[in-house]
Amino acid sequence: MDGFKLYVTNSSTIPPDGYLCYEDPDPGLPNITQNIPCNQLGQYVIYYDSKGSQENETFYIGPIIELCYVAINDNIASGGLVTQFPTGSQTASLANDGNTKSCSKTIGQTVIFQVDLKEESTVTGVHITFGESTTRKGFHILYSSNTSTSWTFGTILYNGTSLPIEINFHTVFRFLTYKPPVEIGRSVLEVCEIGIVGCPPSHYGPFCDQSCPWNCRGPCDLITGQCIFGLIGWSGDTCEQ
């Protein structure tokens, strides 16, 4: 399986005609378990391998593929509402349109970028693709909250001096807010794509295809399906009693 490629596409055409997420650095056997990040919208995820082995001058063996388990984590930012302050020269919606070459852009003394998932959701990670113009020196802060205005009182997911390109965590929120650093009196923010990994409300499981218990108030645990928030008058892991 060395030399395989992983694509995200909008068609089932073979050879794949779409976004190349990953290519195995042949030669050498790949790791048995692969965890490949790919922030891209598409209809198909295609594992493609055309590399075989030449046993001798006349005998060629094609590629042998044995896949035991494949899990695809959804990008729930695509259905969210993206805003930025100030409005900027490029609209905020370009940050979740599935195209890493189109970027939102804004400049100001105070700059805020926010994603509204529309409902409280269980989230396990964030992937952000920044443009070259983004201010880099200083502290970058990423907040999660359940209100759009008082996000500074929410949970700090990241606070550091490097751009938070990939952050992994496990929490429940509705609003994700990013505040870039200020350099020489202003901030420049250019976000080309943002991906939020998790399941939409009321679903859980590796493929987000299982429904949370009907009595859960809000989202349930992504793995077990147990209710995260209780319901007054009910008890038990799934609020069934």
Per-residue pLDDT of the chain (241 residues; tens, 9 = 90+): 888 999 998 889 999 988 899 999 877 788 888 878 776 777 889 999 988 777 777 777 888 888 887 777 668 777 789 999 998 889 999 998 877 788 999 999 999 999 999 888 888 889 898 999 999 999 999 999 999 988 989 999 999 999 888 898 888 899 999 999 998 899 999 999 898 888 777 888 776 778 888 877 778 888 888 888 777 787 777 777 8
Q: How is domain 81-199 classified at the CATH fold level? A: Jelly Rolls (2.60.120)
What's the burial of 126, exposed, middle or buried (CB within 10 Å: 0-12/13-18/19+)? buried
Residue (of 85, 88, 102, 180) closest to 136 by Cα position: 180
Q: What is the pLDDT of residue 120?
A: 86
Query: Which three-class secondary structure state does DSSP give residue 152?
Result: helix
Q: What is the pLDDT of residue 70?
A: 79
Neighbours of 29 (CB within 10 A): 9
Q: What is the pLDDT of residue 240?
A: 79
Q: How far apart are CA 47 and CA 68, in angstroms?
A: 13
Question: Residues 167, 152, 96, 92: is their CA dihedral positive or negative?
Answer: negative
Q: Where in the chain is the domain with CATH 2.60.120.260?
A: 81-199
